[in-house]
Every structure is written in C-alpha cells, then in structure tokens.
Amino acid sequence: MSICKLLTPGPLSTSDEVKNQMLVDRCTWDNDYKMITQKIRKQLLSVAHLSEEDYTTVLLQGSGSFAVEATLNSAVSQDGKCLFIVNGAYGERMVEMGNRMSLDYSVYRTDYHIIPNVNKVRKLIETDTDITHIAMVHCETTTGILNPIEDMAKLCNDNDITFIVDAMSSFGGIPMDIEKMGIDFLISSANKCIQGVPGFGFVIAKTDKLIGTQGKSSSLVMDLYDQWVVMNKDGKWRYTSPTHVVAAFSKALDELFEEGGVEERYARYCRNNEILRDQLSSFGIKAYITDELQSPIITTFLFPSDRFDFDDFYKYIKERGFIIYPGKLTDEDTFRIGNIEEIYEVDIRRLCKIISTYMEG
C-alpha cells in the first residue's frame, strides 16, 4: 500500500515523531500517563493564552462531534434555549444533536457561501428573549468559510447569552483572543490544527460556566462536569481513554510550540492556501468562497466543467501521492483540498503540478 499525504481537514498527515509516540503501550492508571493528561490540559490553555484562574479544559473520548454533543448536552439545560447559527453541514449537525436531545432551540441559516449577519441575529434574540445560548461553527469545514465569531461574541456578552463555539478546524491554526471575546465553551479535537491523530476531543471552558453545568447532563458518559471533576483530581479519565492518541497529541502540542506557536502555524497555512488558490485559478479551477471569507484551513473548489470527472481526478491525484476530499454541498458540484497538517509549500507546489498535468491531459 502506497503512503499518501492527506490534504484533508482531519484526519491528517502527522509527523514521524507524533506517530512514534503510538508505538508505546501505556496504562491509564499509571502516574506517568496521568501526568501526560495534565500536561495537555495546561498546554491547551497556554495555546489559547488563558489563565488557569478563569478557564479550564476537559478532554473527552471520541471524535470532535462527541465533544460538541457533550457540550450541548451539559451546557444547555432543559429550561434553556439555544440558537443555532448555521451555514454548513457541521452547523446542521449541531441542529440534529439538539433535535435528538429534545433541546429547546431555534435556527438561523444562511447559504453556505455567506457569513451570518450579526444584525439579524440581534433582532432574533431581541424578539425571542427565551434564548440563553448561541452555538455556531468558527471555520465551517463544509466550505472553508471563516465565520465572524468576534461580532457574535460581543452580541452574546452584551445580552448575557452563553456562547458555544465549534472551533474544530480553527483552534491551534488561527489566532483568536478567546478571553477578550468572552467565549464560554470552545470545542476542538486532537486531529485538527494541532496535528495529532483522531481519538478525543476537548473543551476549553470558563470555569464558572462549567461548574454551572453540574447535574444538567442527561447522559452519563457525555457529562462534561463529571469528566472534569475526575480529571481534576490527578489526571485520570473517568473511563478508558485512548492512550496512544493522548501520547501522540502531547507530542503534537510540543511541535506546535517548537514551530513558533499558533501565529507561525497560521502563517504557514496561509501561505499554503494562497499558493493553492492562485495556482488552481490559473488552471481554470475556481474557489467557491470569496477571498475575504476564505479560511486558510480548507478550500472548496467548483468543478471546472460539466464534463469534469471527479472520481478520475481523485484517482489520478491519489496515485501520485495525495488524497483530497469530495464536496459536501448540495447546490454545487465541488471538491475540497485541505492545507493544514504536516504540509509545506513544496507539497502544495507538487500537488499543483500534478493537477496542472491532469488538466492539460
């Protein structure tokens, strides 16, 4: 089996050093392993430039969606109401979670290539005073659009509304001032911009907000408060944790700091994305999202013609060492290319040359 680089938004290609951490078997009860868990929790706050006095972290087994559902389940009580802001498939997934949990909620939707209008959201919360929470995606991986969480955070702060942000594809790769924005719950996962492997998600929360969720979860395993209480004692997870994944993530965090932190990683991602968009545009492959709304994480491209065969295109690229993503849009034929992870300018230029050769053929 040939090894390909994953040009996806996660799972993604990782460094050899991160992979090597998974070659060691670890015991969940061992103090050395519990120290790794506590190291990760502290380093996540450091990545976010947050103090341990006001914020805390909770790690949770499963994919990022597990952590999103756990947050909604724990934070939005049965007497609260959540406004979901949606412009992509992952916003829609939160709505489905709310539906399955029988939460009281409403939805504000826009087209997938448009950012939410904060003035329209303001009118919604002025009209519906029952709204206690707002939940939205920062970087919507469906398209790569970057949503205006700064404006939404201010709106939430001004109206005493709890703000929940799915930062799955942005945390660790896009600078953000979480404390200044006053985000109450920020959710991400191991296999995104910090460049670990799949297996757990994490929540960075205001400590007082997290304490306020005590007893509100209708789920045993997805109770953020109970997970936090146990994890706070000595680093022990309540139930069996993905030990290999945790060790790999610890190394990935170290590599983030060695690279120069979020700002340097962001600069690399931006350069990758700029080259990718410019080169593909010159081949007649246009981006779905406009430049000013595009994140540096993943880019959605329109099929260049009605005769374009994505399966053939995908196979051609895979045979030459790269794996890309199909699109998730319903109104346009698209595919997606991610440029996060252990991907550098030389990789992007090699990919663009492969695509150029395909288009010329």
Name the residue among 146, 231, 139, 124 with its Cα closest to residue 193: 139
Length of the chain: 361
pLDDT computed for residue 2 by the predictor = 63
279-328 pLDDT, tens digit per residue, is 999 999 999 999 999 999 999 999 999 889 999 999 999 999 999 998 77
Q: State the Cα–Cα distance between residues 86 and 185, nearest whole angstrom.
A: 17
Q: How far apart are CA 39 and CA 30, in angstroms?
A: 14
CA distance 325 to 349: 18
| Lookup: tokens for 66 | 């597990």
How confident is the model at residue 279, as a pLDDT? 96
Amino acid symbol at 37: T
pLDDT of residue 79: 82
For the chain, percent of residues with pLDDT exceeding 70: 99
Q: CA 24 to CA 73: how far, in whole Å?
A: 34
Q: What is the DSSP letter of 112?
A: T
Q: What stretches in the chain show pLDDT beneath 70? A: 1-2, 330
Q: Which residues are known binding-site members? A: 336
Please report which helix (H) or strand (E) contains residue 83, including its range. Answer: strand 81-86
Per-residue pLDDT reduced to its tens digit, 5-44: 999 888 889 999 999 999 999 999 999 999 999 999 999 9
Nearest residue to 269 via CA among 328, 345, 167: 345
Residue labelled with tokens 């341990």:
52
Annotation: binding site for substrate: 336
Domains of the chain: 5-9+261-360 (3.90.1150.10), 17-258 (3.40.640.10)
